[in-house]
């Protein structure tokens, strides 16, 4: 032992000249602490010569290029075989660190060749060389080759060493590491436990090799998702290192990182950061500023900040890591690929997909150059690139990437490896977005099957698979199965994660979305609020996941008709998204779309269009021109124009959307069906019924091919087709389709679901038109009863129900009841909607109609004018609702015998109808009929006849032969002929009117009574003139 002193005290003598007195104490040869420290230094920097120890030190501090240079010099200078073997082995280690795996194996094999010539075949040094070669194959992902070399090493050691020799423990550890990589966790645990058992018998309880075993076992439990056990073993390792190593030793830093990694996974980000900071502090004090371990530390920080939604910090740390790696590692080193991958992931989460793909491809390029073609890291790259293609709607590319990843895993991993499950889940997710739900389900179930065999029953990956299966069932409309799957996911997460982990919030959000689809809005709200509570406790106030929660809650309030609350939550979400740096543009677009949806429902169409256009502008900049989200944006804008009665514009936007979806989606995708439905509804509104039917039938055909027979979307299609038949006056067909829709909804949805209420409303409206008032009343009252149980007392849907019931009483002539229900509807709307909402105009029109029927024409006129004022303030000048109001006011003036005013309003209505509707639309026929009646009352019978015949001509072209509107036309023409005393023609037209009404309407319908009375009067006139 050389002379060694211990520093006792340091005392400053002179501040000005910086002089210090240092008191030293000579150590003795038997100083225990010095002995342990010396042994550890010798372990960490072994070597016979000073040059060898220097090389070891260079390796320790990450100076691989300098180490390589020095080893090459030493190799050239020696002729000694043992020294050459040593230098070959060390050069193998250097190239292994540099990820130059082929050279690493080459040097290790050269060293092994020398040993095989100089040592017997079972010499322990040969075992070390076999293990070294195996470790390179592990890095290359060639696990079967790695196992083969480790087996050679173990065979030698078992023959030559005692059963408790530490080198045998090393062999078992090596097997455990390979099995851990292969996902064979029971074998990995068994191997590491064998190693631990040997070390516990032979080493002191504070020996660092015991800590290595504890770390290895902790790593297996970490991969198994048994995080409490993982932390326990990592902490045992840490405790040993604390007792046996200096406080700034690299192994302590590694321990801090291991523990921090678990806390990151369980969502305890502040703890994760604390452990990572301890590790970084050690390395910053002991390593050069460009050491690779510092880069790893910065990467760990980046991963935590990414999870915390602090994207700018995440990027900053990943870029620091990359900067170090670019300075110290070869340009094709896999660690560079990892950094590019991490940066890509941040951009991916931010929705900056082009940047994400660029970084993912840089990572892939490095891995392709430096790794074997079947290395698992290449599969990771394929999966990452595939996930971005999935998000930007390039599904064929996404599938291709995920399938390449799967191909690698199938070739290199055991059939039950968890990474295979990841690939199956990824492929399933693409099929889910493509609308191929049965295929998606099949892949998600394959993933689950593997995970159930390979992982513990409460592993988080199982929760993810249940979650994916739940989403597929949700899309398929199989809500009970979806709920069951989401609840299984939640149950797993509740058992193994802390109560405030973000994954729990994810489960609550998924369950909330499902309850939303099921129409169980209070439960949906409760679930989303549970998620929000977790995020608020665990995440910074500007985290994107908080915005997602606010958005989800806003959506429920939107559906519930609580538009002000919906807007409030959307604005909270928007505030977070707008402050995020860098901006996640796609999330902003989603929020603008949602805000637009609220304004659309509130009848604030200009605001709705403004919001939708902001979303569209963002999407056009951020996504390819054929991305599905752009189509959704065009659809949203189209829906506003549809509500505004600007059908040509609505069609234009729907067709743009359809063109995109046809290019990017399979021909049977449900989104295409949804667009055909939208187009069908526009044609229905325009009165182009054949085109409307054709579009709705295209939608139905897709749904029938892709969805289960009880899926709610099929019901929507049947409903839409029923609506067209209703407008065509084919009431039996309409009822048939409405009943099909109702039957599906009764099976698939809860008894209080709003879509079921919609079905009863539709059926009720047909019965109302057919004059079957008791059936109509029964349907409408059933709806009201449902709604009163589940909706707030001021929900707009309640107003619709009160209006519907009011219409039945209006038609039954029970005007006081009709007025009572209309006024309740108006009261609800005044409390829940803006004062200029079009629905208020509807209620004013309904109240006016009662006064009209009661012959209270001045009051009727007053309410019709209130309706008109709202419509003039909120709707474009050619909106169909304005035409309806002008027509209503015309009718009142006609009854008040102010025929010129009546004619003026009918002509205003006609001008709008002729601009917005097809030439043979039934509503034009109605107007021609009304104008004809005015001219008849004015005594201008020829003009009257001309307009009434125009009406009839349209009706004969577009309506079935027994449609009641045809009867109205025949009736009007009959009255003109009566006026001009052409009684035979009058009788002929009355009889045609009667024939249709008797076929189309119930026998006690007032219109039948009206035409019979007209015939009786006419027959009396004929009798007088005989």
Cα of 183 vs its chain's centroid, Å: 29
Question: What sign for the dihedral angle of Cα 525, 527, 530, 536?
Answer: negative
CA dist., res. 799 & res. 637, Å (int): 26
19 three-state secondary structure: strand
pLDDT the model gives residue 35: 76
Place of tokens 């004018």: 865
Assigned domain for 960 exists: yes
Assigned domain for 830 exists: no
- The pair of structure tokens assigned to 348 is 């991916």
Q: Distance of CA 573 to CAs 512, 544, 623, 657, Å?
A: 17, 8, 22, 27
Instruction: Provide the β-strand partners of residue 12.
Output: 20
Per the structure, how many domains does the chain have?
A: 3
Q: Residue 276 in contact with residue 260, Cβ under 8 Å?
A: yes
Instruction: Provide the β-strand partners of residue 10.
Output: 22
Helix 754-769 × helix 712-727 angle, to 10°: 20
Q: Residue 674 in contact with residue 909, Cβ under 8 Å?
A: no
CA dist., res. 605 & res. 225, Å (int): 51
Assigned domain for 338 exists: yes
Q: Which residues contact 34 (CB under 8 A, 6 or more apart)?
A: 4, 6, 27
CA dist., res. 485 & res. 444, Å (int): 12
Q: Residue 122 in contact with residue 156, Cβ under 8 Å?
A: yes
- The pair of structure tokens assigned to 378 is 């290449």
CA dist., res. 214 & res. 66, Å (int): 33
| Dihedral in degrees, nearest 10, Cα atoms 837, 841, 842, 844 | 140
Long-range contacts of range 87-95, CB-CB < 8 Å, 24 or more positions apart? 88/114, 89/128, 89/129, 89/132, 90/55, 90/59, 92/132, 92/136, 93/59, 93/132, 94/59, 94/64, 94/67, 94/68, 95/68
pLDDT the model gives residue 45: 63
- The pair of structure tokens assigned to 753 is 């679901």
Assigned domain for 997 exists: yes
Category of 604 on φ-ψ map: left (φ > 0), alpha (ψ -120 to 50) or beta: beta
- The pair of structure tokens assigned to 983 is 């009684």
Assigned domain for 340 exists: yes
pLDDT the model gives residue 97: 87
Provide the CATH number for the domain around residue 340.
1.25.40.10
Assigned domain for 992 exists: yes
CA dist., res. 620 & res. 627, Å (int): 9
- The pair of structure tokens assigned to 570 is 């959307």
Alpha helices in 392-520 (DSSP H): 395-412, 418-433, 437-454, 460-475, 479-496, 502-518
Mean pLDDT in each 10-residue stretch from start to end of the chain (1026 residues)? 77 72 83 73 68 82 86 90 90 89 93 92 92 92 91 94 92 95 91 96 92 96 90 97 90 96 90 97 90 94 91 95 92 93 93 91 94 90 95 89 96 88 96 90 97 87 95 90 96 86 92 90 94 88 88 91 89 86 75 92 90 93 84 95 90 95 86 94 90 96 89 93 90 94 89 87 92 92 89 88 96 92 96 87 96 95 96 86 95 96 96 85 91 96 96 88 89 96 95 92 84 94 84
Burial category of 12 from C-beta neighbours within 10 Å (exposed 0-12, middle 13-18, buried 19 and up): exposed
Q: Residue 100 in contact with residue 369, Cβ under 8 Å?
A: no
Q: Residue 165 in contact with residue 198, Cβ under 8 Å?
A: yes
Question: What sign for the dihedral angle of Cα 758, 763, 769, 775?
Answer: negative
Q: Residue 674 in contact with residue 663, Cβ under 8 Å?
A: no
Domain end point (choices 321, 350, 365): 365
10 three-state secondary structure: strand
Cα of 23 vs its chain's centroid, Å: 68
Q: Residue 336 in contact with residue 98, Cβ under 8 Å?
A: no
Helix 81-97 × helix 64-77 angle, to 10°: 160
pTM of the model: 0.73
Q: Residue 460 in contact with residue 488, Cβ under 8 Å?
A: no
Q: Distance of CA 684 to CAs 647, 651, 916, 963, Å?
A: 10, 12, 13, 17
Other beta carbons less than 10 A from residue 249's beta carbon: 18
- The pair of structure tokens assigned to 44 is 């960490």
Burial category of 341 from C-beta neighbours within 10 Å (exposed 0-12, middle 13-18, buried 19 and up): buried
Assigned domain for 393 exists: no
> What's the angle, vertex CA 649, arms to CA 643 and CA 655, rounded to 5?
105
Domain end point (choices 365, 383, 411): 365
Q: Residue 357 belongs to what domain range?
A: 297-365
Category of 270 on φ-ψ map: left (φ > 0), alpha (ψ -120 to 50) or beta: alpha
- The pair of structure tokens assigned to 521 is 């809005």
Assigned domain for 158 exists: no
CA dist., res. 354 & res. 385, Å (int): 11
CA dist., res. 399 & res. 182, Å (int): 24
Q: Residue 863 in contact with residue 823, Cβ under 8 Å?
A: no
């Amino acid at each position: 032992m050389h002379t060694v002193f211990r520093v006792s005290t340091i005392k400053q003598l002179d501040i000005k000249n910086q002089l210090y007195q240092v008191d030293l104490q000579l150590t003795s040869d038997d100083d225990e602490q010095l002995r342990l420290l010396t042994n550890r230094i010798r372990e960490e920097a072994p070597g016979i010569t000073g040059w060898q120890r220097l090389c070891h030190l260079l390796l320790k501090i990450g100076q691989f290029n300098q180490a390589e240079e020095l080893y090459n010099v030493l190799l050239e200078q020696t002729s000694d075989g043992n020294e050459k073997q040593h230098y070959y082995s060390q050069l193998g280690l250097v190239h292994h660190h540099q990820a130059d795996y082929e050279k690493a194996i080459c040097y290790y094999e050269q060293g092994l060749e020398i040993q095989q010539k100089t040592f017997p075949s079972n010499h322990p040094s040969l075992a070390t060389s076999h293990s070294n070669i195996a470790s390179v194959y592990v890095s290359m992902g060639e696990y079967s080759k790695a196992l083969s070399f480790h087996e050679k090493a173990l065979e030698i050691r078992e023959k030559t060493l005692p059963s408790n020799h530490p080198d045998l423990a090393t062999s078992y550890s090596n097997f455990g590491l390979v099995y851990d990589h292969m996902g064979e966790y029971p074998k990995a645990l068994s191997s590491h436990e064998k190693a631990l058992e040997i070390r516990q018998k032979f080493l002191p309880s504070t020996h660092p090799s015991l800590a290595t075993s504890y770390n290895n076992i902790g790593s297996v439990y970490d991969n198994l998702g048994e995080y409490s056990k993982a932390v326990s073993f990592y902490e045992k390792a840490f405790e040993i290192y604390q007792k046996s190593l200096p406080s700034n030793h690299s192994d302590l830093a590694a321990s801090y990182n291991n523990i921090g990694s678990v806390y990151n996974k369980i969502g305890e980000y502040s703890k994760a950061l604390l452990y990572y900071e301890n590790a970084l502090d050690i390395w910053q004090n002991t390593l050069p500023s460009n050491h690779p371990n510092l880069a790893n530390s910065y990467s760990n920080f980046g991963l935590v900040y990414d999870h915390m939604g602090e994207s700018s910090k995440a990027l900053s740390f990943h870029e620091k890591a990359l900067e170090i790696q670019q300075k110290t590692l070869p340009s094709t080193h896999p660690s560079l690929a990892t950094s590019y991958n991490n940066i890509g992931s941040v951009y991916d989460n931010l929705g900056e997909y082009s940047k994400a793909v660029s970084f993912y491809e840089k990572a892939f390029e490095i891995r392709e150059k430096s790794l074997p073609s079947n290395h698992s890291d290449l599969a990771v790259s394929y999966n990452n690139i595939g996930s971005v293609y999935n998000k930007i709607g390039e599904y064929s590319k996404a599938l291709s990437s995920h399938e390449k990843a799967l191909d690698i895993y199938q070739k290199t991993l055991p059939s039950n490896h968890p990474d295979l499950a990841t690939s199956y889940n990824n492929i399933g997710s693409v099929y889910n977005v493509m609308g191929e739900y049965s295929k998606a389900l099949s892949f998600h179930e394959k993933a689950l099957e593997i995970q159930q065999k390979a992982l513990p029953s409460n592993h988080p990956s199982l929760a993810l698979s249940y979650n994916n299966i739940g989403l597929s069932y949700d899309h398929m409309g199989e809500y009970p199965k979806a709920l069951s799957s989401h609840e299984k996911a939640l149950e797993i997460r509740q058992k193994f994660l802390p109560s405030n982990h973000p994954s729990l919030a994810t489960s609550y959000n998924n369950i909330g979305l499902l309850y939303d689809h099921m129409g169980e809005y209070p439960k949906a709200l409760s679930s989303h609020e549970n998620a929000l509570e977790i995020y608020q406790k665990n995440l910074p106030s500007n985290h994107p996941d908080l915005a997602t929660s606010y958005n989800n809650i806003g959506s429920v309030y939107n559906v519930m008709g609580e538009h002000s609350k919906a807007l409030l939550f959307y604005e909270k979400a928007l505030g977070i998204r707008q402050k995020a740096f860098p901006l996640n543009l796609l999330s902003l677009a989603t929020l603008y779309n949602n805000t637009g949806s609220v304004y659309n429902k509130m009848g604030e169409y200009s605001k709705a269009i403004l919001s939708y256009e902001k979303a569209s502008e963002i999407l056009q900049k951020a996504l390819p021109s054929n991305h599905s989200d752009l189509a959704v944006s065009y659809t949203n804008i189209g829906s506003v124009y549809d509500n505004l009665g600007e059908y040509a514009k609505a069609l234009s936007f729907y067709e743009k959307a359809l063109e995109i979806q046809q290019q990017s989606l399979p021909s049977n995708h449900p989104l295409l069906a949804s667009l055909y439905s939208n187009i069908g509804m526009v044609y229905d509104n325009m009165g182009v019924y054949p085109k409307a039917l054709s579009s709705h039938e295209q939608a139905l055909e897709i749904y029938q091919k892709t969805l289960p027979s009880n899926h709610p979307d099929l019901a929507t299609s049947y409903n839409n087709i029923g609506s067209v038949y209703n407008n065509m006056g084919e009431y039996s067909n309409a009822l048939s389709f409405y009943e099909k829709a109702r039957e599906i909804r009764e099976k698939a949805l809860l008894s209080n679901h709003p879509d079921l209420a919609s079905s009863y409303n539709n059926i009720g409206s047909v019965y109302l038109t057919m004059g079957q008032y008791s059936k109509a009343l029964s349907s409408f009252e059933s709806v009201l009863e449902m709604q009163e149980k589940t909706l707030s007392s001021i929900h707009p849907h309640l107003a619709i129900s009160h209006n519907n019931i009011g219409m039945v009483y209006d038609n039954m002539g029970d005007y006081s009841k009709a007025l009572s229900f209309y006024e309740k509807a108006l009261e609800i709307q005044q409390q829940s909607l803006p004062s200029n909402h079009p629905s208020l105009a509807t209620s004013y029109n309904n109240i006016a109609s009662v006064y009209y029927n009661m012959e209270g024409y001045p009051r009727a006129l007053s309410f019709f004018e209130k309706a008109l004022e709202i419509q003039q303030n909120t709707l474009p000048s050619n909106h169909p609702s304005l035409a309806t109001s002008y027509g209503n006011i015309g009718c009142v003036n006609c009854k008040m015998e102010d025929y010129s005013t009546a004619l003026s309003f009918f002509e205003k209505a006609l001008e709008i109808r002729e601009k917005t509707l097809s030439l043979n639309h039934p509503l034009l026929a109605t107007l021609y009929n009304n104008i004809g009646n005015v001219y008849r009352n004015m005594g201008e019978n020829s003009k009257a006849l001309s307009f009434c015949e125009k009406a009839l001509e349209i009706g004969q072209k577009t309506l079935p032969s027994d449609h009641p509107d045809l009867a109205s036309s025949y009736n009007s023409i009959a009255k003109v002929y009566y006026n001009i005393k052409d009684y035979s023609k009058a009788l002929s037209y009355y009889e045609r009117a009667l024939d249709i009404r008797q076929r189309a309407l119930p026998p006690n319908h007032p219109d039948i009574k009206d035409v019979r009375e007209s015939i009786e009067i006419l027959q009396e006139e004929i009798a007088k003139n005989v």
